[in-house]
Structure 1
Amino acid sequence: MPPATYCLVAVDCPDPAALAGFYAALLGGDIKRDSDDWYDLYVPGGHRIAFQRAEGHQPPQWPRADASQQLHLDFHVTDMDAAESQALSLGAMPLDLDDQGGRRGFRVYADPAGHPFCLCRA
């Protein structure tokens, strides 16, 4: 039996409330505030993403080895174009939208704090 169980992914950012709101609008779920520096998003399906204030946060740059992405989040979607439109309207920034006519199966964006995430065909 493994000694640990999954708890959450914590995302550094300059404004935890705003970034939690972005992901709640993109994924659904409930936001719970622990402090001004820490917000949790409980998404449908029981997963948890935490957002913590990091003063002086510098977002990763896509795709640069000298400014590593460090991690990214993947989200399944059934309608890529509709999901892209909603993500962009919420403040996502396009990083790599060439899904090679659907052959690649994903497109890459940055959230409002600059973290990369992918919308992936389900």
Structure 2
Amino acid sequence: MIGRLHHTVIDCPSPGDLAEFYAELTGLPVTYRSDDWVVISRDDTTSGIAFQRAPDHRPPRWPDPAYPQQFHLDVMVDDLEVADAAVRRIGAQRLPAGDHVYADPAGHPFCLIRRPSWAPPISRA
């Protein structure tokens, strides 16, 4: 092994706003915050998702290859319809291509997927 995954880093124009969106979506708290860098993770010693300020950020356009998706997250949920309403309430927009494909507030695509049977139920703490 050469290394261990630390954070998935997402470029965006407003790290604090996008971190709050994903904190609400995933239930992970914000564990670090500066003007240009915000992290959500289980705790301050756990890898997570980091949001980095990119002043010239160009949002992807799903599924336009001229504006590639750059990354996407699959988020497992117990109930797709309940989750659809919840992600729209916190600022996601449904994208026309694909089933349960959304854009976060900075335009990055993400998908809601039905929780596989092997995964424990999603619980809101």
Task: Report the TM-score, using the length of structure 2 for normalisation.
Answer: 0.84
Q: What residue is the counterpart of 1:39 in the other structure?
A: 38
Question: Residue 24 of structure 1 contacts residue 43 of structure 1 at CA under 8 Å; is this kept in 2?
Answer: no
Deviations 1:50-70 (A, max 9, x none): 001000111000001111112
Structure with the higher fraction of residues in strand conformation: 1
Change beyond 3 A, Cα 1:3–1:15 = same
Task: Report the TM-score, using the length of structure 1 for normalisation.
Answer: 0.85
Instruction: Output the CA distance in 2 between the equivalents of 1:68 and 1:18.
Output: 22
How many aligned residue pairs are there? 113
Q: What residue is the counterpart of 1:79 in the other structure?
A: 79
Q: Which runs of 5+ in 1 are unaligned?
A: 100-106
RMSD: 1.7
Instruction: Output the CA distance in 2 between the equivalents of 1:28 and 1:90.
Output: 13
Q: Secondary structure at the match of 1:29?
A: coil
Change beyond 3 A, Cα 1:121–1:97 = farther
Report sequence identity in percent: 45
Deviations 1:40-92 (A, max 9, x none): 00148x55000010001110000011111121011111100000100000000
Q: Which runs of 5+ in 2 are unaligned?
A: 116-125
Structure with the higher fraction of residues in helix conformation: 1
Question: Residue 72 of structure 1 contacts residue 115 of structure 1 at CA under 8 Å; is this kept in 2?
Answer: yes
Shift of 1:31: 0.4
Q: Secondary structure at the match of 2:87?
A: helix
In the alignment, does 2:115 pair up with 1:116? no
Instruction: Output the CA distance in 1 between the equivalents of 2:113 and 2:9.
Output: 21
